[in-house]
Amino acid sequence: VSSARVPNTTKGHLFLTGQQRPTFTMSNANTSPPGNCKFAIPKKGRLYEKVAAMLKGSGIDYHREPRLDVALCAEFPITLVFLPAADIAKYVGEGNVDVGITGWDVVQESLVEVERILDLGFGGCKLCVQTPVANNVTDVSTLAGGRIVTSFPELTKKFFAPLDEEKGVTTKVNFVSGSVEAACGLGLADAVVDLVETGTTMRAAGLEVSAVVLKTEAILISNPNSEHKDIVNMLKRRLEGYITATKYVMISYNISNDLLAGALKMTPGKKSPNITPLECGELKAVSALVSKKEANKRMDELHDLGATDILTFQLTNTRM
């Protein structure tokens, strides 16, 4: 950075509401200003789209220039670094970046020490041992000592290690970066270890699941020695708030005093409903969080019970 105006209080601190964020003039646009918290996110694909929507909903605004893998956040001393999802855990674990979003499978495969800050609720799938349907493999231990092709060699070796020890054999694990599912059909492997989401690709290749190695989803991780704990905690709060907002709606209704107990059983809320007496004295106004998936069902139940003025409100973000 050839010319940067950086205040002494930048490192590790958030900027207060209304406080002007320092501007930076960088000779190399693909760099991070000194003292910024570096936040790695997937650079492309479905994970990137999910993460971008989550950051927008959490108020983490940024502008990414075309063809650049670095972007500065508008209101916080955070530098977003766009990386392949498979590399993020290693960068975080080695301290090159402070915090990141990637899959739990990537963390386990990378053999690095990171803090698992928050499960994000998307990108869920399973890392599975897959075998040809025609082979009818019902006992995965019969594959010990055989040939396995995978993009996850460390997790595969760890899975087969106790089976190898029990049988006194060594399973041959070969790494490939893509098209894992074709290995069995080509005679290159007895089984493959790969991620299964819907199973469409697996079934098209004539494979089936013989064992689950690991359940995974997208997670927020941080380096244990990061100097930006306050920013990491802020990110966790905001992302938690956004996740809650995507799962719940606020339902509001009026109910007579004699029907209140029955209504509260239908809408207990996430912690507890909010109950307000109305001026007439015969009714209560109730508001509570309900699962977005069950909102219409709850509205029907309340209507049939005798509630009136039943409304639902979308949430944009929360702090619980």
pLDDT in tens, 112-121: 999 999 999 9
Q: How many Cα atoms occupy the beta-carbon half-sphere of 281 within 13 Å?
A: 0
Render pLDDT for 73-120 as a digit per residue (tens, 0 to 9): 989 999 999 999 999 999 999 999 999 999 999 999 999 999 999 999
* Exposure letters 73-108 (e unless 16+ CB within 10 A, then b): beebbbbbbbbebbbbbbbbbeeebbbbbbbbbbbb
Q: Are 155 and 213 in contact (CB under 8 A)?
A: yes
Angle between helical axes of 45-57 and 229-247 (0-180°, round to 10): 90
Confidence at residue 1, expressed as pLDDT on a 0 to 100 scale: 36
- Enumerate residues 6+ apart whose C-beta is below 8 A from 50: 120, 122, 123, 218
Q: Are 302 and 263 in contact (CB under 8 A)?
A: yes
Q: CB count, 10 Å around CB of 281?
A: 8
Residue pointed to by tokens 């492309």: 44
Q: Which residues of the chain have pLDDT under 50?
A: 1-27
Question: What distance in Å separates the CA atoms of residue 285 and residue 279, rounded to the nearest whole number?
Answer: 10
Neighbour order of strands in the sheet with 274-277: 274-277, 283-291, 248-256, 308-314
Alpha-carbon separation of residue 23 from 6, 33, 159, 231 (angstroms): 8, 9, 50, 19
Hey, what are 18's tokens?
Answer: 């209304």
Render pLDDT for 237-278 as a digit per residue (tens, 0 to 9): 999 999 999 999 999 999 999 999 999 999 999 999 999 999
Question: What distance in Å separates the CA atoms of residue 68 and residue 84, rounded to the nearest whole number?
Answer: 14
SS3 string, 272-309, reads CCEEEECCCCCEEEEEEEEEHHHHHHHHHHHHHHCCEE
Confidence at residue 123, expressed as pLDDT on a 0 to 100 scale: 92
Q: Are 208 and 140 in contact (CB under 8 A)?
A: no
Which pairs from 291-297 meet CB under 8 Å and 24+ separation? 291/247, 291/248, 292/246, 292/247, 292/248, 292/249, 295/249, 295/251
